[in-house]
Amino acid sequence: MNHPVRMFDYHAWATQTLLERIKELPSTVLQQEVNTSFPTIGEAFAHVYALDKCWLQILNGTSMPKALEACLPLQQETLRYSVDEFAIAFSELAEQFGAWFRSQDDLEQFIALENPYAGTRSIRFSEIVLQVVNHGTYHRGNVSAMLRQLGHASTMNDYSLFWYRESPKLMSEEEQNDV
C-alpha cells in the first residue's frame, strides 16, 4: 500500500465530506464572522486551497518562493467562493494531485526545499504529501469548531471513518486489493 497516496485520498475525501455538510446549511454560513483563527469559514477553506495548490507546484518542481508568490493570491481570489465553488476547486485540485501521483515512481525521492521562512533542507516527496494532509486536518478541525460557534453541528471526517467508505479513488486496483 502506498501510504502517502492513501493519506492524500483521505484528505480529499474529508474536505469534500465537510463541504457536503456545509451545503446543508444556509449559504451565508461561509461568510459569517467568528472569533477564531480565521474570520470566516470561507477564509479557512481559501487558505487550505491556496496552500494545497502551493505544495502541488513545489512537488512539480517550482521553488517554494515562486510557488508562494503564485499561490498566496489565490487565498484572496477564493475567499468569497460558494460551497459549490469550493467543492469543484478542491475536486479539480485532487485530480491534479492524482495525476502527479501517477507520474511518480518514487515518493521517497528527496528534493531541496527552499523555505523562505526556515531555510533550505532536503525533504522527501512523501513528507510534503503528509504536510498537505496534516495541514488540511488541522484546518478542518478549525472549521468544525467554527460551525459549532455558529450554532451548527459539524460532521465526522476522521481517518477512522474513511477506512469504512467505498474504495479510494486515487489508489490503483492492486493497492485497493491490499487494503
88 φψ region: left (φ > 0), alpha (ψ -120 to 50), beta (else) = alpha
135 annotated ligand binder: yes
82, three cell numbers: 460558494
65, three cell numbers: 518562493
Residues paired with residue 113 on neighbouring β-strands, in sequence order: 121
11 annotated ligand binder: no
3 annotated ligand binder: no
Let me know if 138 is exposed, middle or buried by CB neighbors in 10 A (0-12, 13-18, 19+): exposed
Q: Quick check: 18 and 157 in contact, CB under 8 A?
A: yes
Residues making up the annotated binding site for a divalent metal cation are 47, 135, 139
Binding site feature residues = 47, 135, 139
